[in-house]
Amino acid sequence: HRGAGAEAPENPLAALRLALAQGADGVELDAWRCATGEVVVVHDEDLARVAGAPLRVPDSPLAALRALDVGAWKGERWRDERIASLEDVLAVVPARKKVVIELKADPEIVEPLAAVLKQAAIDDESILVISLVDATVAECKRRMPNVRCHWLSRYKQRADGGWFPTANDVIDTIRRLGAAGFGSG
């Protein structure tokens, strides 16, 4: 999850490499589209927590994001870790390892994501795209029909004690979006 995010900073290449070195079958990462259009791998939209910077990923160009240290907050060992692009990540993931990409953004991320996946030396069976954003899942299925996509939702308890979404809501949404599965985020 976020590479070896419990031990290393979340999502930079060092965390992903550590997870793989520990024998993980694959890695889960979080992706945003930055202001210059690239898909970057970082969990938070706002970089205050991981970089101490008052920047928002969608509003920042790639060069500004790469200038930030996103490792020092986790300890001196991780100082100078940088935000990776999705291309950077896919270049270090060995063949046959799984890559779960959680898209944190609206559907505009799908076009650059599709371009990166098309150029990468990774097969569709090794990729799973997940998102809490309904429209993003639907656009993924439209643009990349061979890539598995799962819709995520958070369960919430209603005042009457029941839960939302219901099982029928989940089934209906998966069918409407063309998703291959469901997860609770």
Catalytic residues, by residue number, are 1, 43
Which two tokens mark 106?
């609206």
Q: Give how far Cα 40 sits from Cα of 75, 162, 167, 168, 175, Å.
A: 22, 38, 33, 34, 29
Distance CA 136, CA 39 (A): 14
Which two tokens mark 30?
């979080």
User: What phi and psi, each to the nearest 5 degrees, are found at residue 80?
Assistant: 75, 15
Distance CA 108, CA 118 (A): 17
Spatial CA neighbour of 67 closest among 54, 57, 80: 80
